[in-house]
Amino acid sequence: MIIALDTAHIADANRPNEPFQIIGRLIPTYTHGGWQAEEELLPKPHMKTYEEEEIDWTQYINQPDKHVFLAYEEKQFAGRIVLRRDWNRYAFVEDIAVTMALRGRGVGTALMRQAEQWAREQELCGLALETQDTNLLACRFYQKCGMHIGAVNTMLYRNFPKPYCDEIAIFWYKRWESV
């Protein structure tokens, strides 16, 4: 079940980020007017966790330009997706997270479908998001959802401490014409 965030469910939106596995990196290259990518697997995978952010979730409730959807499986919180209308007529996925215990069970795919539905209802031309080259499992997931690399930014994380300063930002897009 997927619901729009409301005041009764803010505690679920506030759940802390859970670790995710880093198994390698995506190596994008731009040739002949398009993006290609290869994978480089790590000899020893490790876990990564994002720092917690203070977010006023009430700012996403009943807003025309931003939205949060929460997923539940058998009344148990399963994940969230945070969206906003971007200046370029894409729905930008600010965050997507699925609880560790429920990963691999279709929750992320259902959230992405909900995001696409919301974007189409807003008459936007597609979805966009950014992730790091080191989050190979997420990159694979976005490809599975029909997204394509649209840009790479090698400087976005340069001012962070190691090892994050070596990460590359990959921008993913899914575009549709029927708007």
- Give residue-wise pLDDT tens across range 67-112: 999 999 998 999 999 999 999 999 999 999 999 999 999 999 999 9
- Give residue-wise pLDDT tens across range 100-145: 999 999 999 999 999 999 999 999 999 999 999 999 999 999 999 9
pLDDT at 178 over 70: no
Q: Which residue has the higher pLDDT, 41 or 165?
A: 41
**Alpha-carbon separation of residue 143 from 37, 128, 171, 174 (angstroms):** 11, 12, 12, 9
Chain center to CA of 48: 15
Evaluate whether 129 touches 172 at the Cβ level (below 8 Å): yes
- Give residue-wise pLDDT tens across range 10-20: 999 988 889 99
Instruction: Report DSSP state, residue 135.
Output: B
Q: Which long-range contacts (CB under 8 A, 24 or more apart) does 78-87 make?
A: 78/102, 78/107, 79/107, 79/108, 79/111, 80/5, 80/12, 80/13, 80/15, 80/111, 81/111, 81/112, 81/114, 81/115, 83/115, 83/118, 83/119, 85/122, 85/124, 86/128
SS3 at position 60: helix
CA nearest to 11, candidates 68, 73, 85, 83 = 68
CA nearest to 78, candidates 106, 47, 48 = 106
Q: Determine the residue type at 26.
A: L
Q: Given the structure tokens 């936007």, which residue do they identify?
A: 124
Average pLDDT over residues 44-62: 91
